[in-house]
Structure 1
Amino acid sequence: MNATPAGSEQEERAELARLLPAGPVERGLPPGLHSHHKDVLMQLIDREDDVRSPAGARRFSRPVLLAASVAVAVAATLTVGLASGRQEPGGHPGATAPATAGRGAVVTLDRIAAVALRGDVQPVKDGQFVYVRTRIAENEADWGQPLKPGALHDRETWFSQDQKPLIEYGMTRENGDDFPIRILVPEGSAGEPAGIDRPTYTWLASLPTDPGALLKRLYAETPVEGEEDHDQAVFDRIGELVQEQIMPSATAAAIYRATARIPGVTEVDDAVDAAGRHGIAIAREDTKMGLRTEWIFDPDSLEYLGARTVLSRDSAMGKAGTVFDTRAVLERAVVDRRGDEPSGKPKSGSGDGSGSRDGSAQS
């Protein structure tokens, strides 16, 4: 398993030849478009990187997420904290620069974007729910301690698509229990409207489809705290959108092309999701935390499969390459009620998530 950053011109041209085969992925392109993409990508190979990522700072999001998962088990609720003090990207290189990812990643992301753009996505109505069934395994040890892999299991999640402010906007079903998904808001608040902290299909459809403008928007609306790496925070936020939402095809294509402009993004030639499926991955290393996040795609169809996080260096937690957490998206659909499965038949858990409550997104 090798991450592929930018290399020599000869190596990059060989990489381009490998990544642009005549095959199923190329079918359906309008006449001349395939040649256009090849010309653009060859120009990318000749372009010098004119932007460098600033020195990374230590991120604290991973330990916070681990603490949140413990809180879920204890309090039987999922809580998402609203961060304050959002920063404008200003002259941040990731917001306005041309592609700065490794050349292999740039080419692959362009191909993934082309596939996404051809997708036939039906709009999701405001009163509906996006349903996602995921197979996951997470680290159960405290941060900094030797990794303790959790058991593989399936998780079902329902996300409300309402645009209005909500405090409770979905539900997770895991190990037979139902947990409401709530967002933490100030006392007396009506809740959080649709936006980057509570994405919906309609909100995603409102985003710019120009990759540069979209990336600038994502940097501006993705909060960071302390010395957190802003590039990594945006990469992680995009990963959440890709994994957990349904979005218009034009938005999906723009998101993948915007990702190619984030400094430090590379390609991994072989990665395995939680369902055991092999694929190619778009990755970024958080050098301060010693973790590499990988989005995994089918090597033939370029459809999204899942994601995983691995240790990027030897540490007290384990050897480099050890899986920190892993997930695979098994099913994604639109349903009319929280708790409904794609078949339309409700399947009750042992929790109380099937009932309506104050601030609920239940329709």
Structure 2
Amino acid sequence: AVFTVGALTSGGTDGRTGADAVAAPVVAVEEGSAIQLVATVQRIADAASAQQVPEPKPGQYIYINSKVSFLSSSHNFDTNESRTWVQPLHQREIWKSPDARRGWLDEPGYQPKGGIGLGSDNPHSTPRNGKDIEGEAAPLSYVWLKAQPADPQALLKTVYASARGPRDRDQQAFERVKEIINEQLVPAPTAAALYRAAAKIPGVVVVQNSQDAAGRTGLALARLDDRTGERTELVFDRTTFAYLGSRGVQVREYDGVKPGTVVERTAVLERAVVDAQKMRPGSGGTA
């Protein structure tokens, strides 16, 4: 008997192994340090402040094109052996309205063919009072983020208040920051404050050498989950300090996953504003 578990992502689960999954990469575990945290975050925040972020208008969509891979592990109860797999690197495209009430997700092989609607575009959504509420911005949406204070301490309180999950509150908050910057368009002042807020979360360190799903190397803001032994790394270009993507590395063995195992990789390849759902930047057409 073999039991297979897929890592939960915002797109769903995947429990495939064999030809549909690959052995998880293994890297040397580099120790993180808080010594250069303040200086590093200052450079990251300065770069975010200087970024020209397009302003999405009502009716437009925020488009994020990523390359991703998440954990998929199996356990053989007859032999009591565990194996750790990961999804093959694959494309993930998402479209979100500025208020995140509408959207679309296309992740071939991991979502229904052609993609799936998000928010009120999801056929399984549950409207309130029999109808979708227009004009109400969802948490973590562009409209919601723009309304947040560009003050790190105040923003940190908001991040903690919005964080949910089984992990400890500090880890939840750090994962919330990752969730925001991976698949959202963040106004420049808010982005700068968000990185400064992340540095205030207890346990956050700098890892000098990390890599995103596209193979781009950089430094990372990282935090170790004491319960699972997994370290979440937010990867930044070491020259421009632009955000590249994220990586999850097992630092301590947990549930059969060995130290050094890369259990998650993402890379943001393109972030833009388009005029219609399923439209790609510069294409003039739909996906």
For 1:69, the aligned partner's letter is G
Q: Which has the higher strand share?
A: 2
Q: Is residue 84 of structure 2 the alignment partner of residue 173 of structure 1? A: no
Q: 1:267 aligns with which of 206, 210, 214?
A: 206
- Alignment coverage as a number of residue pairs: 252
Q: 1:116 aligns with which of 42, 48, 59?
A: 48
> Which whole-Å CA distance do the structure 1 matches of 2:185 and 2:152 have between them?
18
| Structure 1 partner of 2:277 | 338
Identical residues among aligned pairs (%): 37
| Structure 2 partner of 1:305 | 244
Q: Is residue 112 of structure 2 the alignment partner of residue 159 of structure 1? A: no
* Cα-Cα RMSD: 2.8
Instruction: Rate the CA distance shift 1:68–1:115 in 2: closer, same or farther, 3 A.
Output: closer
> Which whole-Å CA distance do the structure 1 matches of 2:10 and 2:95 have between them?
22
Cα shift readout 1:80-102 (whole Å, capped 9, x = no counterpart): xxxxxxxxxxxxxxxxxxxxx92
Shift of 1:189: 6.0
Q: Is residue 170 of structure 2 the alignment partner of residue 231 of structure 1? A: yes
Q: 1:219 aligns with which of 160, 166, 175?
A: 160
2:227 alignment partner, SS class = coil
Cα shift readout 1:256-309 (whole Å, capped 9, x = no counterpart): 111111000011111111111111011011110121110101111101110011
8 Å Cα contact 1:127-1:162 kept in structure 2:
no
After TM superposition, where is structure 1 displaced by more than 4 Å over at least 4 residues in a row? Answer: 142-145, 183-192
| Structure 2 partner of 1:128 | 60
Shift of 1:153: 1.2
| Structure 2 partner of 1:280 | 219
8 Å Cα contact 2:99-2:142 kept in structure 1:
no
Shift of 1:171: 1.1
| Structure 2 partner of 1:329 | 268
Cα shift readout 1:169-213 (whole Å, capped 9, x = no counterpart): 2111122631222476577464573232xx322221110111111
* Greater CA drift, 169-178 or 131-140: 169-178
What are the equivalent positions in structure 2 for 1:1-363 lying under 5 Å apart? 65=8, 69-70=12-13, 102-141=34-73, 145-162=82-99, 166=101, 169-175=102-108, 177-182=114-119, 185=126, 188=129, 190-191=131-132, 193-196=136-139, 199-224=140-165, 228-348=167-287
| Structure 2 partner of 1:21 | none
For 1:120, the aligned partner's letter is Q
* Greater CA drift, 281-290 or 174-183: 174-183
For 1:155, the aligned partner's letter is R
Shift of 1:136: 1.1
Instruction: Rate the CA distance shift 1:66–1:238 in 2: closer, same or farther, 3 A.
Output: closer
TM-score by length of 1: 0.63
Q: Which has the higher helix share?
A: 1
> Which whole-Å CA distance do the structure 2 matches of 1:278 and 1:329 have between them?
13
Instruction: Rate the CA distance shift 1:136–1:157 in 2: closer, same or farther, 3 A.
Output: same
Gaps of 5+ in 2: 17-32, 76-80
> Which whole-Å CA distance do the structure 1 matches of 2:160 and 2:116 have between them?
30
Question: Which has the larger Rg?
Answer: 1
> Which whole-Å CA distance do the structure 2 matches of 1:224 and 1:161 have between them?
25
8 Å Cα contact 1:275-1:328 kept in structure 2:
yes
Cα shift readout 1:16-44 (whole Å, capped 9, x = no counterpart): xxxxxxxxxxxxxxxxxxxxxxxxxxxxx
Instruction: Rate the CA distance shift 1:271–1:315 in 2: closer, same or farther, 3 A.
Output: same
8 Å Cα contact 2:65-2:94 kept in structure 1:
yes
8 Å Cα contact 1:124-1:202 kept in structure 2:
no
TM-score by length of 2: 0.79
